[in-house]
Amino acid sequence: MYINGEWVEAGSGERFEVTNPATGAVIGEVADGDASDAERAIEAADAAFKTWAATTAYERSDLLHRAWMLMTERSSELANLMTTEQGKPLKASQAEVKYGADFLRWYAEEAKRVAGEWLPSARPDQRFLVVKQPVGVVAAITPWNYPISMLTRKMGPALAAGCTLVLKAAEATPLCARAIFGIFHDAGFPPGVVNLVTALDPKPIGEVFTTDERVRKLTFTGSTAVGKMLAGQAAGNLKRVSVELGGHAPFIVFPDADPVHAAKGAAALKFLNSGQACISPNRLYVHESGADAFHQTLTERISKVRAGNGMEDGVGVGPLVNDAAVAKVERQVDDAVAKGAGVPVGGGRLTEGDFAKGHFFAPTLVTGVTDDMTIYREETFGPVAPVITYDDVDTVIDRANDTNYGLAAYVYTQNISTAMRTFEGLRFGIIGINDVNPTSAAAPFGGMGDSGLGREGGHEGIAEYLEVKLGGFAI
Ligand code: NAD
């Protein structure tokens, strides 16, 4: 773990092993921290806060820039580590390192743009001054599916704002977290400003993060169930909370869209990270007029997606995170088939030869999906594209909105009015219009409903780490 500028073992001396999900091989060991280690890290962050908050935005910007440069220099070793620890294909790891590094560069610049306001008053002898100040010590909890960018997306804005931070990395991917904290150490961040806790059991750490009075803000990315539970715990102490949670993205192909182009987009998007993305499309609504062409192209594309170890050339989907994830996908596909769905490609676990050592599920197309199937309601988090053929253009937005999640949605249309109406009508935080990659460090990412609270990225992202202070001056 990294606490107060030093690499340390857990107080208990315990460690746990980290494995490669493609091969089952043990690839490293990290400290197994507990509640007392989390408290130690908070103590360091609390002690460092006053001095760090008093640095100039220019000093914080320089350090973040240095971290971005180191991350860029080390991008290929970071990508190799990510594929070995998390399983995604090497090219996808390279793309994530670049995306993750962008949050450091963008917030290095944004640090200098945290400005206040000077407001007129109705009283002639009064002036108002509004300033923004860092909220204080931030506790962060991150997931395994994007084991680098989910860290920098929190650390960039928190540090730019002048907060200090304690982060608990996902138990499946602590080595990536360690590599990122190595970069912050080498960039020269003062002791206590960033602290990393690793642990096999996240529960006691979560309890400390949500109850310790020195922590002023909790930021979490992960499942909706855990996010709700942690937000509930934090509410007792009125901590600021932002949570980025699960999704169940609709992908709507309107009759005026090119179904072949849309199917290519769907194939490119669905298998990113083996479908283990919160913005992965989970319900593909295709108008019946383009359904044949869409199905044909998607079938061809999915048949060509090769599953395997992400370090091998030509592999398009890697393993899932663990066996429970494979079992969940299998249960959803079996349920759909039992209720009448077709499976023209894939449909089951991959267990032959080298696949037996990892957690693999075949890239799969499910057709004829209906509202009564589990896959229509539950986030899949696996390489399965469920297609629904629809005929009524007037009700498809309502059908897409019929979920408690509200993270991402995708729309294919060539008609500007349809695009605008759909953009306005969908209750999701991120909408891709003929676009399968609507994310960037410069843009606010986040969801509505059960998909979360708050935004990461953009101007909105740094506001999550700032308090607003009003001064009334009688002159
Ligand atoms: P998860 O909730 O199980 O784990 C996420 C993190 O929470 C991990 O660090 C884990 O150790 C920790 N955690 C788990 N139980 C905890 C507890 N009781 N107390 C404190 N911490 C606890 O989720 P996951 O399976 O790792 O991640 C997948 C989920 O994350 C998906 O639902 C996905 O959609 C979501 N996700 C959302 C976004 C987003 O920005 N909205 C991004 C990536 C992933």
pLDDT for 412-424, tens place per residue? 999 999 999 999 9
β-bridge partners, 15: 31
| Measured distance CA(406)–CA(116) in Å, rounded | 32
pLDDT digits (tens, 9 = 90+) for 195-213: 999 999 999 999 999 999 9
At 344 the pLDDT is 96
Mean pLDDT score of the chain: 97
The protein residue whose alpha carbon is closest to atom 39 in ligand 1 is: 244
| Strand-pair partners of 210 | none
Structural domains in the chain, CATH included, are 2-245+451-474 (3.40.605.10), 249-440 (3.40.309.10)
Q: How far is the CA of 145 from the centre of ligand 1 (A)?
A: 9
Is any atom of ligand 1 closer than 6 Å to the C-beta of 202? yes
CB 206 less than 6 A from any atom of ligand 1: yes
Question: Looking at the annotation, which residues are catalytic?
Answer: 244, 278
* 99: Cα within 13 Å, side-chain hemisphere: 20
DSSP for 23-89 reads T--EEEEEE---HHHHHHHHHHHHHHHHHHHTS-HHHHHHHHHHHHHHHHHTHHHHHHHHHHHH---
Percent with pLDDT over 90 in the chain: 100
Average pLDDT, integer, range 450-468:
98
Question: What per-residue confidence (pLDDT) applies to 183?
Answer: 98
Query: For residue 240, what are the β-bridge partners?
Result: 217
* Mean predicted confidence (pLDDT) in 258-274: 96
What global pTM score does this model have? 0.97
Q: Which helix (H) or strand (E) holds 366?
A: strand 364-367
DSSP 71-135: HHHTHHHHHHHHHHHH---HHHHHHHHHHHHHHHHHHHHHGGG---EEEE-SSTTEEEEEEEEE-
Q: What pLDDT is stored for residue 303 in this prediction? A: 96
Strand blocks (E) in 94-248: 117-120, 126-134, 137-141, 164-168, 194-197, 215-221, 240-244
Ligand 1 touching residue 289 (CB < 6 A): no
Protein residue closest via CA to atom 24 of ligand 1: 222
Those residues with Cβ within 8 angstroms of residue 122's Cβ, 6 or more apart along the chain or in another chain? none
- The predicted-structure confidence for 109-168, as pLDDT tens digits, reads as follows 999 999 999 999 999 999 999 999 999 999 999 999 999 999 999 999 999 999 999 999
Give the residue among 187, 197, 190, 191 at the shortest CA–CA distance from 166. Answer: 197
Q: What is the pLDDT of residue 127?
A: 96
Q: Return the ligand 1 atom nearest residue 206 CA.
A: 20
| Mean pLDDT of the 383-400 span | 97
Model confidence band, residue 369 (pLDDT cutoffs 50, 70, 90): very high
Q: State the pLDDT at residue 26.
A: 98
Q: Tell me which DSSP letter residue 317 carries.
A: B
Query: Residue 200's pLDDT is what?
Result: 98
Residue 442: the pLDDT is 98
| Cα–ligand 1 centroid distance for 454 (angstroms) | 16
Half-sphere exposure of 365 (CA within 13 A, CB side): 21
Residue nearest (by alpha carbon) to ligand 1 atom 22: 202
- Count CB neighbours of 328 within 10 A: 18
Structural element, H or E, at residue 350 = strand 349-350
Identify the pLDDT of residue 466. Answer: 98
Which of 88, 103, 226, 455 is the best mutation target for the ligand 1 pocket, counting ligand atoms within 8 Å of the beta carbon and taking the most?
A: 226
For 308-343, the pLDDT digits (tens) are 999 999 999 999 999 999 999 999 999 999 999 999
Protein residue with least CA distance to atom 40, ligand 1: 244
- Which residues does 240 contact at the CB level (< 8 Å), separation at least 6? 135, 216, 217, 218, 464
Residue 456's φ and ψ, nearest 5 degrees, are -120, 140
Instruction: Determine the residue type at 345.
Output: V
Is there an atom of ligand 1 within 6 Å of 308 CB? no
94-125 per-position pLDDT tens digit: 999 999 999 999 999 999 999 999 999 999 99
Q: Which residues of 129-138 are buried (b: 16+ CB within 10 A; e: fewer)?
A: eeebbbbbbb
Ligand 1: which atom is nearest the Cα of residue 407?
41
Give the residue, out of 221, 229, 440, with the most ligand 1 atoms within 8 A of its beta carbon, to mutate for a pocket test.
221
Interval between CA 225 and ligand 1 midpoint (Å): 9
Cβ(144) – ligand 1 distance below 6 Å: yes
- Cβ(222) to ligand 1 under 6 A? yes
Write down the pLDDT at residue 351. Answer: 95
Per-residue pLDDT at 268: 94
Q: Ligand 1: which of 34, 88, 103, 223 to mutate, judged by most atoms within 8 Å of the beta carbon?
A: 223
Dist. CA 254 → ligand 1 center (Å): 33
Residue 305: predicted pLDDT: 96
- Atom 37, ligand 1: which residue's CA is nearest? 245
Q: pLDDT at position 403, please? A: 97
**Using 50, 70 and 90 to split pLDDT, how confident is the model at 40?**
very high
